[in-house]
Amino acid sequence: QAVRMEEVLRQLRDCGQFEQVDLRGHQIVADATPLFVKFGTGGVEASQEILEYEFAGLQHLHDGSALLRVPRPVLTGTLPDSESGFLVMEHIEFARRPPSSFLENLAAGVGQLHSVTDADGVYGFPADGCCGSAPQLNNSDRRQMGWVEFWREYRLEAQLAAIKAQHPTDAELQELGAQLSKRLPEFFGGSGLIEADIAPALLHGDLWSGNYRADTSGTPCIFDPACYYGHHEADHGINHMFGGGEAFQNNGYQSQFSLAPGYDRRAQLYELHHHLNHLQMFGSGYREGAVSLMRRLLR
């Protein structure tokens, strides 16, 4: 680790952004600003290209809401004699306990993010990346398509294909997934929500309860994104899976985005994506939850 930090230090000194860069104990400080260095993502090594995706996502989030604090990304690089990358960002000191207004303020800030839409009306992101350690395709060639088509191709069917490669004999999961893929339009028609009205909103992409904290002033901070532009409700899925939906079940959010008809079923659909993602990353312990959700959605 010390050798890695020395290499990051060298690249920071050479990048031309700072007058002075020092290593103080285990902390890099650049022009009196403490920095945080992230090696890899999702607990595994990652290339510089993947970390450049996270860099871009942090920048979009940083610019997207005045109510949230997002670590400012500084630099990505590759370690010598290795394909492993690193990401340097602003270090944020977290509070030991959040203020009582934390969830309401977090929700208001996330609502502000969801009010930011892609300038070209395109679902996805200019770069493919990852969610945790699992690959995430993002329509990086910027094709114009509807939201159902995007979700089918780049979320549901992409996950099913990755899982089939890992678990080729699991015919039941694949059959349920194929049925659900055919029925996706049902979640966006006849329920009061019209697909054509779904704007490509700026999404964190992995907003579970471990990816937000309060800083020492009480300001909500979000980090470790898997950014793309899509239906704002898609950000709710992982928060229902790990957090009980706490980031969205208050006036801070719902004063900006009221829950549209059919929300409960779509929340399950968006939660399913993360069950499949966790099955891909962590194995069969997440299979039962994914299969149970698919059966419920197909009733």
* Distance in angstroms (rounded) separating the CA atoms of residues 29 and 38: 15
DSSP 215: B
* Distance in angstroms (rounded) separating the CA atoms of residues 60 and 73: 10
Strand partners, 41: 44
* Distance in angstroms (rounded) separating the CA atoms of residues 9 and 143: 39
Is residue 31 part of the annotated active site? The answer reads no
- Asked if 276 and 159 touch (Cβ cutoff 8 Å), the reply is yes
How far does the chain reach from its first CA to its final CA, in angstroms? 51
> Active-site residue among 118, 128, 206, 235?
206
* Distance in angstroms (rounded) separating the CA atoms of residues 213 and 215: 7
* Token pair recorded at residue 49: 């290209």
> For the CA atoms of the chain, what is the radius of gyration?
20
* Distance in angstroms (rounded) separating the CA atoms of residues 56 and 46: 15
Can you tell me whether residue 44 is helix, strand or coil?
A: strand
CA 189 to chain centre: 26
* Distance in angstroms (rounded) separating the CA atoms of residues 33 and 207: 26
* Distance in angstroms (rounded) separating the CA atoms of residues 38 and 74: 11
What are the residue numbers of the active site?
206
